[in-house]
Structure 1
Amino acid sequence: MSPVATTGEDFISVYPNTAPPIEALPYELVERKGVGHPDTMCDAIAERASRYYSLFCLEHFGRVAHHWFDKVMLYGGQADIDYGRGDILTPYTVLFAGKGAYRCGEQEIPLVDILRRATTDVLSEVTTGFDPSRHLRVECGIVDHQGAGRGHSRYRPRSTADLVAIGDPTLKSNDCNLLHGYAPLSRLENAVLGVERLITGAEFKAANPDTGWDVKVFGSRREGRFGLIVNMPFLAAGIESFEHYLHRKEQCHKVVAAYLGHVLGEEPELLLNPTDRNGRPYLTALGSVADTGDVGAVGRGNRVNGLITPMRAMSIEAPAGKNPLDHTGKLYGVLAHQLAQEISELTGRAAETHIFTSKEAPLSRPDEVVVRLTDWSGEAEAGLEARIRETVTASLESMDDLTRNLIESGVTMW
């Protein structure tokens, strides 16, 4: 279907999905970059910065100043690593580029402080032993320059009257966007997502405090045979020798294998830390390859549902850090997956959702919403189709709830 603007209820379409279900394909590939991966760190930092900035504005102005902080890059540091020790010699550098307001009228917005606090909080959560006073340098490239075609800069509000309230009916799409979502996850997708969450979860970390956070999981399925590769660093300070490393790796391998056997109902092929086949252990200082100079950037990692799924419909938007009021690359990206989940539960079928919006379209009225369902019989299910349309319409008419959730509670998009 071509992305052409429509009128009335015609903008919502429900079609059968004639493609084979993902589980019926003979081959499937899935990847996840863990919370300690530099790319994932940047997504989390960008979104945390947007949340903190929005919360400050709501507290002081009752409205949110326009901004986008979705151009975050992390330059890794330098570390001295050997058995029994891991020290950071050169700090991480986190660079923010984008646009935002530094004041509203005479009231200053402490933007640089907000960016540093967001960065410190995220990196403290996804590393071990992080000390921002020694391990972090933040560079702010946020500008408040005027945008094209605007009477005055939305990044230099003269008073709160220049700010937009959450749920303002005049809010319109900030860009042209194509977004996609699907549900439910396949068995392989659930396994890949679950393994990373297991390793970076509180229970595993309490039992294995010498493990790092930069976990990367690759999963494949050939017919009914599953295979997973898991990259998981260890903290150098806790590893005494290569033999000790191999021993600890084998202990962790057993935990991960037992988990996979439980979620898949069978024992898959599992390779843990293939990088050490060259005789060098996977050791880090704080738990991430960012310790030794690796670089991360927003949008280079997981999609909104936390996975990289090349065999699925997948948005290429980088939602983290975007304005939560009207940037539909963020709003509709989250909504597409939420709608797919709701519609899948409503119909008992696998669902895909596709949302297209042009710039300046009302938030409640994108140009097109397409729902595709497995085993859909069309006219024979007119009553169910009406309920699907009602679900889509209700969600679009309550975009303010999604915005509040993004700001107040936070929605993980990586």
Structure 2
Amino acid sequence: MRNITVEEFRASCAAAQQLEIVERKGMGHPDSICDAVMDNISVRLSEEYLQEFGEILHHNIDKCLLVAGEVTGIFGGGMVTHPMLLVIGDRATFSAEGKDIDVNSIAVDTAGRWFDENLRFVEPEFLDYQVELKPGSAELTDIFRRKEKMLGSNDTSAAVGYAPLSFTEKMVLDTEKYLNSPDFKEKYPESGEDIKVMGVRKDSDLDLTVAMPVVDRFLDSEEHYFRVKEDLTDAINTFIADYVEENKVSMDVTFSLNNLDMPGRGMNGIYTTVTGTSAEDADCGQVGRGNRVNGIIPLNRPVSSEAAAGKNPVSHVGKIYNALSHRIADRIYTAVPDVEEAYVWLLSDIGAPIDRPKVAAAQIIMKKGSVESVQDEVTEVIDRELENIGEFTMELARGMVPLY
């Protein structure tokens, strides 16, 4: 029997609280770039290990620094004067069973592919790479050699997940996804990818602050910038109105775009970009400083402290439990009647099988009825998801579970 506990969560659900603050860092934000690139490297390495050895070997590609470069912005198209630097670090398996794996080349090639597929205006020459990957420690590497049916955890780590997202959380998440969608970029190619959305709800009033650079190659003057800004503002207003109507909520949603703009100061007073990301000259990035694994930074919620992106998907509970806690919470919310909100806590014990956490706990807010009346159903959901954790880890290994 697994050590599973279920109790009442003695607090109001997030949507009923007077104040909510939620942030979303978009695809082109330097922190999001680091998360995405490093997890793509883990996925690619996992694929290589499976192909060569039939199993995923030890690696943790979760230390990364994106060092900002330098640019000169000019109406009609600026230039990169000093490239960005992507530092890729931590641990990997470089050889096994007499075979070598070119880990460094895989890392650089994967990073280059990600930039090519996701940031339209970042050319290969705009990036330098510094790979600082080394072999893992003997004890942690040995976990993978023990050939046990269920690998042991390679860390003592806690995670928490919840469901469902509140309307504020969904609105912030979906606004950024819309602004970085292929359809939006086709219609407004001048909009950069480094988008940040901050949502603040006070009672039934939700205010969104959106930062979205305009790519300078599409501009011929300061006046042109402000005309483009008006078009983008209209598009966002239309999206917000449609979103509120589709979700049938009684909420007054307002927003502002690029609040630092000041007419009359030329390039110094407007938010432009050469490459679409502020990593070109304004902001460095790092793994774990961006969105949580459910895609947002929810200040009202308990959140996990681990950076999930890049960790190995089969033994590192900092990745597995981080994502699995949200999935279990969602399964409880959707499968168990009358649950209004669910929080799931998982705690590993280093060396113990990952399907046997030291703590597996659910905290439940009910719409009606008692937690005691659904305790067995909640326990069954948790037990089933832990029983199938092997399938879940392979979803992580294939990059099928969003983490940022």
Q: What's the TM-score, normalizing by structure 1?
A: 0.90
How far apart in 2 are the matches of 1:164 and 1:300? Answer: 34
Which residue, 8, 11, 28 being the options, matches 1:16? Answer: 8
Q: Is the contact made by 2:7 and 2:371 (CA closer than 8 Å) also made in structure 1?
A: no
The change in CA–CA distance for 1:205 and 1:163 in structure 2 (over 3 A counts) is: farther
Q: Is the contact made by 1:215 and 1:232 (CA closer than 8 Å) also made in structure 2?
A: yes
Q: What's the TM-score, normalizing by structure 2?
A: 0.93
Tell me the residue number matched to 2:22.
30
Tell me the residue number matched to 1:300.
289
**Count of residues in Structure 1 that have an aligned counterpart in Structure 2:** 392
Q: After TM superposition, where is structure 1 displaced by more than 3 Å over at least 4 residues in a row?
A: 162-165, 376-380
Which residue, 114, 131, 152 being the options, matches 2:106? Answer: 114
State the secondary structure of the residue aligned to 1:311.
coil
Alignment of 1:15-414 (within 5 A): 15-132=7-124, 134-144=125-135, 146-147=137-138, 150=139, 154=141, 163=145, 168-265=148-245, 266-277=251-262, 279=265, 280-347=269-336, 348-349=338-339, 350-375=341-366, 377-378=369-370, 381=373, 384-414=374-404
State the secondary structure of the residue aligned to 1:277.
coil
The change in CA–CA distance for 1:261 and 1:64 in structure 2 (over 3 A counts) is: same
State the secondary structure of the residue aligned to 1:85.
coil
How far residue 145 of structure 1 moved from its aligned partner, in angstroms, is 5.0
Paired letter, 1:268: V
How far residue 130 of structure 1 moved from its aligned partner, in angstroms, is 2.2
Q: Is the contact made by 1:66 and 1:163 (CA closer than 8 Å) also made in structure 2?
A: no
State the secondary structure of the residue aligned to 1:373.
strand
Q: Is the contact made by 1:212 and 1:232 (CA closer than 8 Å) also made in structure 2?
A: yes
| 1:34-59 CA distance string (max 9 Å, x none) | 11000000000110010001101111
Between 370-379 and 295-304, report the one with greater CA deviation. 370-379
How far residue 164 of structure 1 moved from its aligned partner, in angstroms, is 6.7
Q: Is the contact made by 1:15 and 1:378 (CA closer than 8 Å) also made in structure 2?
A: no
How far apart in 1 are the matches of 2:146 and 2:192? Answer: 42
Paired letter, 2:158: L
How far residue 245 of structure 1 moved from its aligned partner, in angstroms, is 0.8
Measured on the aligned residues, the alpha-carbon RMSD in Å equals: 1.8
How far residue 409 of structure 1 moved from its aligned partner, in angstroms, is 4.1
Identity %: 30
Paired letter, 1:25: Q
Q: Is the contact made by 1:187 and 1:264 (CA closer than 8 Å) also made in structure 2?
A: no
Q: Is the contact made by 2:93 and 2:136 (CA closer than 8 Å) also made in structure 1?
A: no
How far apart in 1 are the matches of 2:32 and 2:15? Answer: 27
Paired letter, 1:276: D
The change in CA–CA distance for 1:163 and 1:361 in structure 2 (over 3 A counts) is: closer
How far residue 129 of structure 1 moved from its aligned partner, in angstroms, is 2.4
The change in CA–CA distance for 1:16 and 1:233 in structure 2 (over 3 A counts) is: same
How far residue 396 of structure 1 moved from its aligned partner, in angstroms, is 0.8
How far apart in 1 are the matches of 2:215 and 2:146? Answer: 47
How far apart in 2 are the matches of 1:77 and 1:163? Answer: 42
Tell me the residue number matched to 1:5.
none
Gaps of 5+ in 1: 1-7
